[in-house]
Chains A and B, each alone.
Chain A
Amino acid sequence: DGNTQFERVGADVTMKCGSMDWDATVTWTANGTDIDESHLNGSYLILKNVDLAQSGQYSCYEGSSWHLKYQTSLKVGTPPREPVLMCRSNNYPKGFYCSWHLPTPTHIPNTFNISVIHGTKEMVCEKDAVPKNRCHIRYLQLFSTVKYKVTLTVTNALGKNFTTLTFDEFAIVKPDPPESVVAKPVPNNPRRLEVSWQNPSSWPDPESFPLKFFLRYRPLILDQWQHVELSDGTSHTITDAYAGKEYIIQVAAKDNDIGTWSDWSVAVHATPWTEEPKHLTTEAQITETTSASTSSFMAPPTTKICDKGAVVGSGAVAVCWTAGLVVAAYSVLFI
């Protein structure tokens, strides 16, 4: 007979060979492989302290005729632990969804049953086809002070468990992150970056339920973020960027009045505008520096080149001594 048998990990399992007597001669197989007689007690198969690897098809054959007398599919697993449940409204005021999972797998099939109660009213949570561990509810009422109570029960052949969440309408409102974040340099502005984004497409009515935004940005070379909160609009100009440095920028959203901040948007990178180096007319091999670096100095075109040997100092402040003389002369002129 085909049937399924569920057993807990660590249990001792005894399988009878159908209606065969205890003292009958039988052969047991597991997934087609003969099982050693040491596991037999008469015609009974004894499996001690079963583990997951022992799941499979077990068959019992009469000794001489090899007739199949009994067959079972053994599934070793565990009863469910308390499930993890989360409910959230990313499409307020239309409704909310709840999703769940088990903290550890049971290795056997589980069924989930969810109940949603608002005051005395039982509401239907419609299960999503994909993903399977999710259902959604349409709000019947808005602005209610009565809390929602969601109970998720998980059941399998070895046991059941449940968890309950209680929350009010406003607390679970959390939009999806802003979309289409774009950051661009501003021409002729070495310290500016223009950032724009869009409301998350899942937010149904941004006009009546406007979102506010939180922008964070930092140069890649630093760990510290700068933050700006914006109460309206879907764009912002950063005006204190370090010239010439690549920035990483993210935006988050929140309903203007209720709920919590979204996760951060996908990060975008941008570098502020820098001036193109001027074309030099001399044949000299003058090291080019960008005008965005305020500490650099562009030698005038008539300046002689430096021989490598004439360089004094090192690193960013290396100065050719002949050029230094020219600089000094110019400085005197401008004092």
Chain B
Amino acid sequence: MAGADSPSAALRRRDLCARGIRLAGKMRSDVVDLLDAYVERQGLDASASVAAVEGVPPAAVEHWDEQTGTQRLLENLAAYRAFRALLAQMLEEQREQLGEADAALGRALAAVLLQVSAFAYHLEELLRLESRGPPSEEEDGPPPQPRGLFEQKLRGLGVLRELAQWAVRSARDLRQLAKPGPGAGSAPSPAESP
């Protein structure tokens, strides 16, 4: 495997970052559309404040600009692995609740789940380039199940909102990573704007 600072690793990192940024942009756009559809079909109030939901990784971060490249990747990866499990659970709940009556919502959820999985894979590849490798997935079991139908809906709202924020944050994180410098851990190739 090429060293983290080799020119080929730097090129691969830049390529992965550029593709990741595009994927994050598409993911955000799809999540925002899904959020609108979800709110409407679940009969929720779009402006409702949802308190931090257990198991949903918050995108909010302090001292974001001081994070190292590896920190960014690890936090992103942990988040998207969590979203993968949460979305899978939501998909299951949605099928049980509405069955075939709302196939469009189910398809949209499945499409976002696919993108989240793809993005998680992207992050794992980037971590491999850091000569660190991705951490193994924790065997904690599935995320906690909301008790009632209304709780399920509120959690779904919380999941999608945080995911939309994460998609924006991830694009910013990858742009930081793509910059040359100690924080990004990149090779000494000159920076180019993506």
A contact set with B: CB distance below 8 Å:
93, 140-147, 170, 207-210, 232, 257-258
**Does the CB pair A258–B60 fall under 8 Å?**
no
B62: A residues at CB distance < 8 A: 140-141
Scan B16-30; emit 1 where CB is below 8 A from any A CB, else 0.
000000000100100
One of A93, A144, A147 near B165 (C-beta < 8 A): A144
* Given A207-B193, A257-B25: A142 in contact with B61 (beta carbons within 8 A): yes
**Does the CB pair A145–B193 fall under 8 Å?**
no
**Does the CB pair A143–B179 fall under 8 Å?**
no
Chain B interface helix/strand/loop/mixed: helix
Chain A interface helix/strand/loop/mixed: loop
**Does the CB pair A147–B49 fall under 8 Å?**
yes
- A169 shortest CB reach to chain B, Å: 9
- Cα separation A210 to B88 with both chains bound (whole Å): 33
A93: B residues at CB distance < 8 A: 64-65
B residues 53-107 near A (Cβ < 8 Å) are 58-62, 64-65
**Does the CB pair B172–A232 fall under 8 Å?**
no
**Does the CB pair A209–B172 fall under 8 Å?**
yes
A258: B residues at CB distance < 8 A: 168
- Cα separation A21 to B37 with both chains bound (whole Å): 78
B127 within 8 A of partner (CB):
no
**Does the CB pair A143–B49 fall under 8 Å?**
no
- Cα separation A257 to B65 with both chains bound (whole Å): 18
**Does the CB pair B60–A145 fall under 8 Å?**
yes
* Given A147-B49, A207-B193, A210-B193: A170 in contact with B64 (beta carbons within 8 A): no
For the complex with contacts A143-B59, A144-B165, A208-B176, 15 further pairs of A-B residues with Cβ separation under 8 Å are A141-B62, A142-B60, A142-B64, A142-B169, A143-B61, A143-B165, A144-B59, A145-B60, A145-B165, A147-B49, A208-B172, A232-B193, A257-B25, A257-B28, A257-B171
Residue of A nearest to B167 (CB): A257
B161 within 8 A of partner (CB):
yes
B175 within 8 A of partner (CB):
yes
B64: A residues at CB distance < 8 A: 93, 142-143
One of B58, B59, B175 near A210 (C-beta < 8 A): B175
B38 within 8 A of partner (CB):
no
- B165 shortest CB reach to chain A, Å: 5
**Does the CB pair A143–B166 fall under 8 Å?**
yes
- Cα separation A210 to B25 with both chains bound (whole Å): 13
Q: Give the most central of A143, A144, A170, A209: most B CB within 10 Å.
A: A143
Q: Give the most central of B25, B191, B193: most A CB within 10 Å.
A: B193
A141: B residues at CB distance < 8 A: 60-62
- Cα separation A294 to B161 with both chains bound (whole Å): 58
B130 within 8 A of partner (CB):
no
B124 within 8 A of partner (CB):
no
- Cα separation A141 to B63 with both chains bound (whole Å): 7
Residue of A nearest to B50 (CB): A145
**Does the CB pair A145–B161 fall under 8 Å?**
yes
A257: B residues at CB distance < 8 A: 25, 28, 168, 171
A-B contact pairs, 9 of them (CB 8 A): A141-B61, A142-B61, A143-B168, A145-B161, A207-B193, A209-B172, A232-B193, A257-B25, A257-B168
B residues 143-194 near A (Cβ < 8 Å) are 161-162, 165-166, 168-169, 171-172, 175-176, 179, 191, 193-194
